[in-house]
Amino acid sequence: MGEAIPHSDDVTWTDPACPVARTLDLVGDRWSLLIVRDAMDGARAFTDFQQRTGIARNILTDRLRRLVDRGILDREAAASGRRQVYTLTQTGRDLFTVVVALRQWGERHAFASGEAHSVLVDTSGDQLSELRPTNSRGAVVDLDGTSVRKAH
């Protein structure tokens, strides 16, 4: 079981019993996910995030604060002491599968056939296999083989 997100006064739960809704309430806006993506790609400083995303300074300041408050990023003074650096917490690192799933969906549906796009590869240079949900026995499942059990 993972670590719960720290209580944050700026979160209003859209659907308190739904994990998908809660996740979107925490990191569902495009800027937050792009910041997480860039942190996964090695961005650490405010200027790194700003240059990679093109985000306005005020929005970036707000999203970085929220991601720190929500336990997704850690903030600390750089060795020089002149700026802040951001790193993913374990909670933030746990978003890797989410980012990979979004990437793979985008590769299949957001590009025309043959259109160039970046590719995520492992340390050997091999492209990742398609993510496939499996049940507790390892069998691949899809929308037709699952259902949501309501909270009690």
Which domain CATH number covers 43?
Answer: 1.10.10.10
| Residue 25, domain member (yes or no) | yes
| Residue 98, domain member (yes or no) | yes
| Residue 59, domain member (yes or no) | yes
Q: Supply the pLDDT for residue 6.
A: 60
d(CA 31, CA 28) in angstroms, rounded, equals 8
| Residue 101, domain member (yes or no) | yes
Yes or no: say if 51 and 85 are a contact pair by the CB < 8 Å rule: no
The percentage of residues in the chain with a pLDDT greater than 70, rounded to a whole number, is 93
Determine the average pLDDT of the residues in 15-33.
92
Q: Supply the pLDDT for residue 11.
A: 77
Determine the average pLDDT of the residues in 16-38.
93
| Residue 94, domain member (yes or no) | yes
Q: Supply the pLDDT for residue 152.
A: 76
Q: Give the confidence band of 19 by pLDDT, cuts at 50, 70, 90.
A: very high
State the residue range of the domain holding 51.
Answer: 19-115
Which one-letter DSSP state was computed for residue 71? T
| Residue 75, domain member (yes or no) | yes
Mean pLDDT of the chain: 92
Q: Supply the pLDDT for residue 8.
A: 60
Q: Which of 108, 70, 68, 98 is nearest to 84 (CA)?
A: 68
d(CA 39, CA 67) in angstroms, rounded, equals 11
Q: Supply the pLDDT for residue 80.
A: 87
The tens digit of pLDDT for each residue in 70-111 reads 999 999 998 888 899 999 999 999 999 999 999 999 999 999
| Residue 100, domain member (yes or no) | yes
- Number of independent structural domains in the chain: 1
| Residue 122, domain member (yes or no) | no
Yes or no: say if 32 and 67 are a contact pair by the CB < 8 Å rule: yes
